[in-house]
Amino acid sequence: MKCRHCETPLEHIFVDLGFAPPSNAYLTKEDLSKPEVYYPLRVLVCDQCWLVQTEDYAHAEDLFNNDYAYFSSTSSTWLEHSRRYSEMIVKRLGLNDKSFVVEVASNDGYLLRNFVAAKVPCLGVEPTASTAEVAEEQGIPVIRRFFNEDLAGEISAEYGKANLIIGNNVYAHVPDINGFTRAIASLLKPDGVVTLEFPHLLNLIEETQFDTIYHEHYSYLSLGSVRTIFGKFGLRVWDVEKIPTHGGSLRVYGCLMSSRFESSAKVQQVEQEEIESGLGRAEAYARFQKLVEEKAEAAARFFLDELKGSRFVAGYGAPAKANTLLNYCGIKPLLLPFVSDASTSKQGKFMPGSHIPIQTPQYLVEQSPDSIVIFPWNIAAEIRAELAPQVGHSTRFVSLLGPNAFE
Ligand SMILES: [Zn+2]
């Protein structure tokens, strides 16, 4: 396989997580009597541009045939993060009723509703009908398609070019990262800005957050690799912020090469940190597999110990990352009888691979488990604060990965 960005043949394996079904392929009861498709889950790193990327395999298009069940608005932490971003960026760029904002992967309108409220004209791009519908109900115009160069051209022709393009947690999910970047460059006004948020590869490595690896997540990005990709298509990064979302993300601010924005010192700082952590050398990547195996062993041991001690365990949250963890560790209903999730589109379904049933949060409270495993460890504090008053004092909350694992 060749690098999706620079076409260098890929020779280094970053991590091999065996085989797994697509992480968002939640199963209905009927699906349980059908065969389930597993794909290799291997991640490679390019030793030229250092883009960390999933291995190609047949039938990638199958991944998005399922009714994609993630609604951004189910997390209050995320809603607050989005509100603060909107307020900040409107001020920083001086956006007003003459501006034009485009959000790629606008989901259920969790972010653009802030721009509607501020009377800044905006447009969402979102291929998933179920979420796009919710956004439209809030008065947000949505084009129900995938973002690419053709669509960027059509938007330019119909609405004009953008003062701001927003991409939150989409850049890492696009298979054609070159085409996507070219599309951004073509849709920006001469002094337009693009902000992209993505989980920072440095955090993934340093905290061994291997559950954030799944098929739909094609790239694992550093500032260095993003600057390389931007540069190839006439864009540059002029500012960067470290933000706490998804276990530690970067928000990069990009513009056209010729644009007026001066580069912030933070860009050099963050890239320097990456270089000092070895992100420009193959050895830093080669160590990861061993670290993943140690974390997975600790997680599997937790479930076995609970079973041995006759303690009743349940899970909270059914995000894609839970499926990577459960499938790699081989956890089935014997060790984890059910998980619960606030999203109604997942309730009553089953986790892909493990076939663990998904119940409501109410059911979790009624069952009063001895231990509750919080799978979205990045918002564990929020979940714990909400659940703790509803369950017994003796209930233990635990995350298996992330900075507060097993505390
Ligand atoms: Zn490359």
The confidence score (pLDDT) of residue 66 equals 47
* CATH code, 386: 3.40.50.720
Q: Which of 285, 310, 328 is the last residue of a domain?
A: 285
Compute, in angstroms, the gap from residue 50 CA to the centroid of ligand 1.
6
Compute, in angstroms, the gap from residue 263 CA to the centroid of ligand 1.
25
The confidence score (pLDDT) of residue 68 equals 53
The confidence score (pLDDT) of residue 87 equals 98
* Residue 2 is assigned to a structural domain of this protein: no
Q: Is the pLDDT of residue 301 over 60?
A: yes
The confidence score (pLDDT) of residue 393 equals 86
Closest CA to 42 of 302, 278, 324, 254: 324
* Residue 98 is assigned to a structural domain of this protein: yes
Q: Is the pLDDT of residue 199 over 80?
A: yes
* Residue 376 is assigned to a structural domain of this protein: yes
CA distance 86 to 89: 5
Q: How many CA atoms lie within 13 A of 400 on its CB side?
A: 32
Compute, in angstroms, the gap from residue 171 CA to the centroid of ligand 1.
16
What range defines the domain where residue 171 resides? 72-285
Q: Is the pLDDT of residue 78 over 90?
A: no
Under the banding of pLDDT at 50, 70 and 90, the label for residue 88 is very high
Average predicted confidence (pLDDT) for the chain = 94
Q: Is the pLDDT of residue 67 over 60?
A: no
Q: What percent of the chain has pLDDT over 70?
A: 96
Task: Give residues whose Cβ lies within 5 Å of ion ligand 1.
Answer: 3, 5-6, 8, 46, 48-49, 51
Same domain, 50 and 89: no
Compute, in angstroms, the gap from residue 55 CA to the centroid of ligand 1.
13
Same domain, 103 and 179: yes
Q: Is the pLDDT of residue 298 over 70?
A: yes
The confidence score (pLDDT) of residue 216 equals 86
Q: Which helix (H) or strand (E) holds 201?
A: helix 201-206
* Residue 3 is assigned to a structural domain of this protein: no
Same domain, 27 and 95: no
Compute, in angstroms, the gap from residue 10 CA to the centroid of ligand 1.
8
Compute, in angstroms, the gap from residue 289 CA to the centroid of ligand 1.
21
* CATH code, 93: 3.40.50.150
* Residue 404 is assigned to a structural domain of this protein: no
* Residue 251 is assigned to a structural domain of this protein: yes
* Residue 216 is assigned to a structural domain of this protein: yes
Same domain, 154 and 191: yes
Report pLDDT digits (tens) over 261-288: 999 999 999 999 999 999 999 999 999 9
